[in-house]
Structure 1
Amino acid sequence: MQVNPKITFFIPDLENPIPTSFISGGIKAGFPSPAADFEELKLSLDHLLVKNREATFYAKASGNSMIGAGIDDGDILVIDRSLEPRNNAIAVCLIDGEFTVKRIKKDNDEVYLMPENSQYQPIKIEEENELIIWGIVTYAIKQMK
């Protein structure tokens, strides 16, 4: 079984949001448009990314088993524990005492934790495995390289 060696968890500090400038009209990735077209508002990323305050936490991803899903080593994941696990959802799971981030795959009566990197094998959940789905990943925050 190949799981992430460690995931570092954080709790959102929703009591002290930091409002940041937000350009609501979007920024074109093609031809530039005049700057006068932009309306600047204030936005707190915590308020945008956290839908359920009591059930949401952040975790720092470790490893490269989910690169095909856009989750790279060091990305910050936003995880909502209030969401129901569902087929194809990306979840933070505790399997046999170790945390991992994988895509849930339910096939008839079998459950797999699927990596998004061909260098890793799927983890088939057997009867003797202890699996706890901690929450569903709703966003991945990354630093651009």
Structure 2
Amino acid sequence: MLHVTHQCSLAIDPPRRSIPWAIHHVRGGISGFPSPAQDYDGRRIDLNEQLIPRPTSTFMFTTDGDSMQGPNGSGIYAGDRLLVDRSIEAGHGDIVIALVDGEMIVKELRCRGCPPALHSANPRYTPIPLRDADYQIWGVVTDILRRVRR
């Protein structure tokens, strides 16, 4: 089962950090490579602006476990950081943070055409039916942050 092992509230006004916003110019019918200087042409990326539209309701969690790792290599892995927005109403197909019997877990909410249940991406884990469970949908996962270079 994939558990949430850490949570922290993001500051309402986090410090601004600029990252270059690379503008790639595409020209048809011309061969060659664009100038490397064009990568620094344009405005700066603000990750807060890009990833956190509602800072007061957005939280970050770090995951542990393998229940959301899909058989095709997709999904959420241990150590991934999840951005979770509490202001979004969860719907069918959303990845959610749920509090089930006192334990915070990450699952896919399925509630269309069947009784509502929380599903894992990993087929080794059975769905958790919500009909008789003591549960709360805590928030909806909006983004997965994963470091690709170690």
Give distance in 1, aligned partners of 2:120 and 2:104. Answer: 13
Which residues of structure 1 form unaligned runs of 5+? none
Determine whether 1:105 maps to 2:106. no
Deviations 1:62-119 (A, max 9, x none): 1111122521110110101111110000000000100000000114461110000112
Aligned to 1:92: 97
User: In 2, Cα distance between the equivalents of 1:120 and 1:47?
Assistant: 36
Name the CA distance, whole Å, in 1 between partners of 2:62 and 2:138.
14
Matched, 1:142 2:146: yes
Aligned to 1:131: 135
Structure 1 residue 9 and structure 2 residue 7: aligned?
yes
- In 2, the alpha carbon distance for the partners of 1:32 and 1:99 equals 50
Match of 2:75 among 65, 70, 73: 70
Letter paired with 1:21:
P
Aligned-residue RMSD, C-alpha:
2.2
Comparing 50-59 with 4-13, greater Cα deviation is found at: 4-13
- Give the 3-state SS of the residue equivalent to 2:16 in structure 1: coil
**Runs of 4+ off more than 4 Å:** none
TM-score (norm 2): 0.81
Identity of aligned residues (%): 25
Query: Greater Rg, structure 1 or structure 2?
Result: 2
Distance 1:37 1:18, change over 3 A: closer
Say how many residue pairs are matched: 138
